[in-house]
Amino acid sequence: MNMKISNAKIVNIQKTRCITLEGANPKTVKSVLRAAYQGKAFNLGEDKHKAVIEGGSIKKMTSHSMSRNAHRHALENLEILMNNSLFVRSERPEKETSKFDSYKQYVVFFDDGTEHVARITEGIKGRDVMYDIIVSDITKEALLRELNRRPKPEFSELLSNLDDNKLVSVLQGK
């Protein structure tokens, strides 16, 4: 299997723009999500399919990384990020014990004073759908440069220090 990211994905990522976000108030993130987003339909990805955020997704997205400003910024601006996300791939679960039958992976780049990439995961089982978001501190240019510079970019020090250890494999189609 080719370890490099496909040319089509590179072109799509290069075309995406980095979204600028305003600051976050860590004390209000959960209440903002519940009040503004719960039950609301968003357009997700370039195909703009409807994504509805429910309580389980809010709980999942706020169960990790809440001490990180970038994660809070992403959550407070979830609608903007979902609307501007780029579909990367669909996949079956790696483990038989997974709660979901399939996953769709999206990426979006944003800047809140520092550039980041967010991977949005949509887990699907029948009519049940859950969302999660994981934010990594890396610019689009640095990510593309590292993915394309050697046959096995997962050994790159920059990529090995990402908060999202699955981002590289998702982009490589593994």
Backbone angles phi, psi at 134, to 5 degrees: -130, 130
| Per-residue pLDDT tens over the stretch 23-60 | 655 556 777 777 778 888 888 988 888 888 888 888 89
**How many domains in the chain?**
1
Residue 56 near residue 130 (C-beta atoms within 8 A): yes
Domain ranges, residue 55 = 20-136
Indicate whether 98 belongs to any domain: yes
In this prediction, residue 124 has a pLDDT band, given cuts at 50, 70 and 90, of very high
Indicate whether 165 belongs to any domain: no
| Per-residue pLDDT tens over the stretch 62-118 | 888 888 888 888 988 888 899 999 998 888 888 888 889 999 999 999 988 889 999
Indicate whether 30 belongs to any domain: yes
Distances (CA, A) of 143 to 5, 74, 153: 11, 19, 10
